[in-house]
Chain A
Amino acid sequence: MSEKELDDEPDSTDEEAVDSSLMGIDVAKTTDEDGDRIGSTETVIETRNLDVYYGEERALQDVNMDIHEREVTAIIGPSGCGKSTYLRCINRMNDLVEAANVEGEVRFNGTDMYGDDIDPVALRRRIGMVFQHPNPFPKSIYDNVAYGLRVQGRKVTDEKIERALRDAALWDEVKDQLDESAMDLSGGQQQRLCIARAIAVDPEVILMDEPASALDPIATSKIEDLIDDLAEEYTVVIVTHNMQQAARISDRTAVFLTGGELVEYDDTEKIFENPDDDRVEDYITGKFG
């Protein structure tokens, strides 16, 4: 694909979704009618010169990135490019991998979250996470949603459980079987349960590590709609393999390439329509990755 084609692309921000010249996929618009950004410009998470090593191997190099409040930030890139590693740095899940060594700075609301006085457990209570494969606990649906509240020593009320399940668009399907095992749900329902579980504790940020990659297309589209809704209240960071997905649901997109390098980070429209970096264009158009 040539530069010429790129330039031919009409500027079509006034439509609900625009056709990208790069892939012919829908890109969610990031500005409203007045041209203002939908999300806030407040930065929740800042990373400065972040390097991560697994033993000798360098998984992230010098990543600088700001994640904004109440926006969906998508992280895309080929396998092994460090996007999940980056996500795990945000709630210090890398602490659980003994060989991982994190250097640089990650700030959450301005506080260095790798400081000596930071309790990673308390941090994870404010930054929820949804994983690639649905991993509900082998307990009842109710207990799954209540789990976070319980471990955080907060009061469990039926209203909180119902609200979380409603927010995760699961309530209508499970309201009559709250006492039944979560393992009996379908994969898509399990993943929405995991999302309900994460939002039941009212985190400020929700991290999602390829939340739809193990699901069928219908379940995937439900999850995508859900993420859209969640962005009204929460800051969502989503890692995905699926570029259409990133384009559809995110406000900003970060592209990592092999070697753990953040190549480009910008508004989703910009990334998918007119990326600055040739490698990003090659990746998005499917020349590699």
Chain B
Amino acid sequence: MATKPETGESIRRERRFSLKEIKGKAFEGILVAATLVGIAALLVLFGYMFFDAVRPLTASAEWYLLFFATLVAPTSAFALYSRRHPAVRRMNARAFAAVFGGLAISLAAWVVFSATGPHGLLLYVLLASISPLAVAGYGKYVERSMFVGPAMVVVTLVVLLWTLGSEVLVFALFDLVGLLFGWIPVLGSLRPPVAPSILVTAVSTGGPTLAVLLYLLRRDSSRRSFAFVPVVAALSGLGTAGFDFWLQPTVDLLPDWVAYLGLVCLPVAAVVAVVVARRAAVRQGLTAGGAVIAGNLAVGVIALALSVDPSFWVVLFSGAVVPVGYVVGDAVVANRKGRVGLLGPFVLIGGVLFGALLEDVINATGPDTWITPTLLLSTWNGIEPTQAGAYAEIVGSIMIVSVMALMSFPVGVGAAIYLEEYAPETGPAGRFANFIEINIANLAGVPSVVYGILGLALFNNFLDFPPGIVISAGATLGLLILPIVIVSAQEAIRSVPDSLRRGSYGMGASRWQTLRNVVLPEAVPGILTGTILALGRAIGETAPLIVIAVPVRTSTPSGLFDSGAAVPLRIFASAANAIPAYRKGVLAALAVVLLALMLTMNAVAIVLRNRYQTDGN
């Protein structure tokens, strides 16, 4: 039972404003002030830039009224309505993700494909998909699933390595031997004994074949599964030698839009078919996939009939219309609640279109903005600010970011998985792993220009790549964000509760099964968020690009081995332009474009994360 405290201290306040209280309040006030100053500084900065880029004051009052009526009012009304109904809100979010995610991805795909030309990429896709699909099909046929996964990965890597210039790597290997052991006379003068193409073919055919053979031998596999060995040999041999001769000329004959069909429509149709088949039945899956292909063909035929090049419309159809169709179809077939929510993005888009239509009718003048179709779609002009465009730079940035993601994601996540799940914790090996971990965390803070020097040394000097090509730019920036990717992926993997791992092991799952079925699905949202935020940071990096001599150019890069281009480089190069309009308007507009690219990527990250999280719970 409570007794009176014997010290007799009163629980009442001594005075209204005691010193103690004033000190507390003052501290709180300082913290509030710090927060406000930070936010205000950022707001002023971005506001100023936005003001310069868009020039909102040049628009007339009618224009604002018009767009308030057609855009702001209906959208806010819809937003308010959907806030009240959770089902509508969820549906709305799905529709937004489908429409704008699809648009963003298909536009990005389109600009990259049209810069590089679809034929070469189609060849890559064929090379990289036919062999693993054949392996998977064969695995299903002999009903052995254990080695299908590894075999698929191996053949894909082999084919891609070949097409991405493994000759360079083979030479680099010999160069490395020469560099390290140059003081030993024989080793220092070692050169490839045969033509590199033969060597690469031998390595890339023999490697996977031997690997599969050893794997089967070690596992005492059934006699039947040894038929796999010639299949893998044939596929990797074909992939490395045959396709170059047979497929390339055939693929080049295809009209552009047919190449786009193969490049975009077929994979999208396959994904839709698999997703639908998994949720309903195989027949429905095939129907859905067929519908996607039929729709694409219809778009192509209509465009041809109107004598328009169908390429863009084919890409847009597969990338944007199909996901929207999937979301709508899913909502209708499954008879989900809140289907009104599907209208959300269309209220927004309709508002913009309707406003633009009425703009001329009521003669309202919009803002004299610097963010114009010219800026987004034409090439740079250093003399006439209104004619300046940064299409090549935008395409270059998208290509660099794609390379960066492809390089840093697998390596970073792989390293994180190793460090978290496999690395020993005790003994000398454990101490070494710990040492590496600490150093990775330190690398995250190394200045970007240092990574530029690293890229310069590795790609330009050692590997002898042409200066400033897309792949070395992407790889350099990939190295820059690698520590961030590793650390954030580690955090995500660490946050998966141990009890789940133990549960999985207790069921007789192997380490790999536990990782794939339990740990990774839980960690994916965190991994994706960390990676994409890192990508967003790197898209604006300038210093490393300057160091590896990425040029400031006006034509789009035509491939991974062409010299790159990047929005931040253009901003940097034009900051010294003598004409004030550049510094006052065009550069601000370019900065807004850069931010928009970054925000789009972050939005994709958020959508992906939410998707996985709702799936998980």
When the two chains form their complex, are residues B509 and A151 in contact, meaning their CB atoms are under 8 A apart?
yes
Of A34-42, A119-127, A245-253, A274-282, the one with at least 4 CB within 8 A of chain B: A119-127
Say whether A91 contacts B506, CB under 8 Å. Answer: yes
Q: B617 contacts A93, CB within 8 Å?
A: no
B504, B508, B517 — which one has the most chain A CB atoms within 10 A of its CB?
B508
B506 close to A198 (CB less than 8 A): yes
Within 8 Å CB of A148, what residues of B? 507-509
B499: contacting residue among A93, A131, A152, A198, CB under 8 A:
A131
A96 touches B502 (CB 8 A): yes
By the criterion CB–CB under 8 Å, are A151 and B510 in contact? Answer: yes
Number of A-B residue pairs having CB atoms within 8 Å of each other in the complex: 75
CB distance from B509 to the nearest CB of A (A): 4
Chain A, residue nearest B508 (CB): A125
Q: How far does the alpha carbon of A280 sit from the alpha carbon of B517 in the complex, in Å? A: 44
Report A-chain residues with C-beta under 8 Å of the C-beta of B426.
98-99
- A91 and B517 CA atoms in complex are apart in Å by 21
1/0 per residue, CB under 8 A from B, across A108-126: the answer is 0000000000000110111
Instruction: Report B-chain residues with C-beta under 8 Å of the C-beta of A181.
Output: 616-617
Of B430, B508, B617, the contact of A138 (CB 8 Å cutoff): B617
Q: A93-B502, A124-B505, A183-B617 in contact; A135/B510 too (CB < 8 A)?
A: no
One of A99, A122, A131, A136 near B506 (C-beta < 8 A): A131
Is B439 among interface residues, defined by CB-CB distance under 8 A?
A: no
CA distance A129 to B509 in the complex (A): 12
Contacting residues, chain A, for B508 (C-beta < 8 A): 121-122, 124-126, 148, 151-152, 201
- What separation, in Å, do the CA atoms of A198 and B426 have in the docked complex? 32
Q: Is the CB of B499 within 8 A of A133?
A: yes
Is B349 in contact with chain A by the CB < 8 A criterion?
no
Q: Determine whether A265 belongs to the interface, using a CB cutoff of 8 Å to chain B.
A: no
Nearest residue in A to B509 (C-beta to C-beta)?
Answer: A151
CA distance A11 to B502 in the complex (A): 44
Pick from A135, A151, A183: contact of B517, CB under 8 Å: A151
Decide if A129 touches B617 in the complex (CB within 8 Å). no
Bound-state Cα–Cα, A190 to B505, Å: 18
CB contacts under 8 Å to A, within B342-359, are none
Which A residues are in CB contact (< 8 Å) with B145?
153
User: A147 near B: Cβ within 8 Å?
Assistant: yes
Look across to chain A and name the residue whose beta carbon is closest to the beta carbon of B502.
A131
A128 at the interface (CB under 8 A from B): yes
Partner of B424, one of A98, A131, A152: A98
Asked if A147 and B517 sit within 8 Å, CB to CB, the answer is yes
Selected contact of A147 from candidates B146, B424, B507, CB within 8 Å = B507
* B 133-154 contacts with A by CB, 8 A: 145-146
Contact of A236 with B by CB under 8 A: no
Please give me the residue from chain B that is nearest to A119 by CB atom: B510
- The CA of A131 and the CA of B506, in the complex, are separated in Å by 9
Q: How near does chain A come to B571, taking the closest CB pair, in angstroms? A: 44
Expressed in whole angstroms, the minimum distance between the Cβ of B580 and any Cβ of chain A is: 58
- Asked whether, in the complex, the Cβ of A96 is within 8 Å of the Cβ of B499, the reply is no
C-alpha spacing A186/B521, complex, angstroms: 23
Bound-state CA distance A128–B505 (Å) is: 10
Instruction: State A121–B509 Cα separation when bound (angstroms).
Output: 6
- A99 proximity list for chain B (CB < 8 A): 426
Contacts of A201 in B (CB 8 A): 507-508
B334 to nearest A CB, angstroms?
A: 12
B499 cross-chain contacts in A, Cβ below 8 A? 131, 133, 135
Say whether A53 faces chain B, with CB atoms less than 8 Å apart.
Answer: no
CB neighbours of A131 from chain B (8 A): 499, 502-503, 506
Give Cα A170 to B596, complex, Å: 52
Asked if B522 CB lies within 8 Å of chain A CBs, one says yes
Which listed residue, A130, A133, A147, A183, touches B504 by the CB 8 Å rule?
Answer: A147
Q: Of all chain A residues, which has the CB nearest B513?
A: A151
Contact with B along A193-210 (1 / 0, CB 8 A): 010011001000000000
- Residues of chain A contacted by B505 (CB below 8 angstroms): 93, 96, 124
A121 to B508 CA separation, bound complex (whole angstroms): 5
Q: Is B309 an interface residue (CB 8 A)?
A: no
Q: Which of A96, A122, A124, A138 contacts B507 (CB 8 A)?
A: A124
* Known pairs A121-B510, A137-B518; A194 contacts B616 (CB<8 A): no
Bound complex: CA of A60 vs CA of B617, how far in Å? 40
Partner of A135, one of B430, B497, B616, B617: B497
B binding-site residues for A, Cβ under 8 Å: 145-146, 424-426, 430, 497, 499-500, 502-510, 513, 517-518, 521-522, 616-617
Can you list 22 A-B contacts (CB < 8 A)? A91-B506, A93-B502, A98-B425, A98-B426, A121-B508, A124-B505, A131-B502, A131-B506, A133-B499, A135-B499, A137-B504, A138-B500, A147-B507, A148-B508, A150-B517, A151-B507, A151-B510, A181-B616, A197-B503, A197-B507, A198-B507, A201-B508
| Further 6 A-B residue pairs, CB within 8 A, beyond A96-B502, A124-B506 | A96-B505, A99-B426, A121-B509, A131-B506, A135-B500, A181-B617
